[in-house]
Amino acid sequence: MSATQTFRTSPGSYAVLCGSLSLPLILWVCIALRGSSFGLTALLIAIAMPGTAAVWLAYLRLRIDESGIEYRDLLGKSFRVTYSEVESLKTRWMSSRYGPDRQSILHLRDGRNLRINFRPFPGDAFGVLSERLKSDA
């Protein structure tokens, strides 16, 4: 049996989301350095935006262990399934306004389909899950 692997949000996801949400804070600091006042409320909002995003991203998790898969997404949906419940993991490429996007879906034996978003995880998360499902088949 393989060891338990827990995948959390990759550093690149934090950099993109929290970095872009830090722009108002950078703007506030630049204005403050010029001697102008932009307001305490604006500062608190500028700090809260990347802070909230970081907490939100920290919630995301994919855990692969000996018995099954546990997934927790950004919108509060979570599930735990055993390998015996999984019929297949299928991926399809879809076009979105940001370019091609990979959508991965776990098809369960009871007919349910569970979507897993691999984009925020490190690159090897999809491969580890695929290999685990193949070895358990």
pLDDT in tens, 75-106: 878 999 999 999 999 988 877 777 777 789 99
Main-chain phi, psi angles of 127, to 5 degrees: -65, -40
Contacts of residue 53, defined as CB under 8 A and 6 or more positions apart, other chains included, come to: 17, 18, 21
Query: CATH topology for 1-137?
Result: PH-domain like (2.30.29)
Entry pTM: 0.75
Work out the pLDDT band at 63, boundaries 50, 70, 90.
Answer: very high
* More confident: 30 or 1: 30
CB 129 within 8 A of CB 106: no
Q: Which residues contact 32 (CB under 8 A, 6 or more apart)?
A: 38
The pLDDT value given to residue 27? 87
Contact 13, 41 (CB under 8 A): no
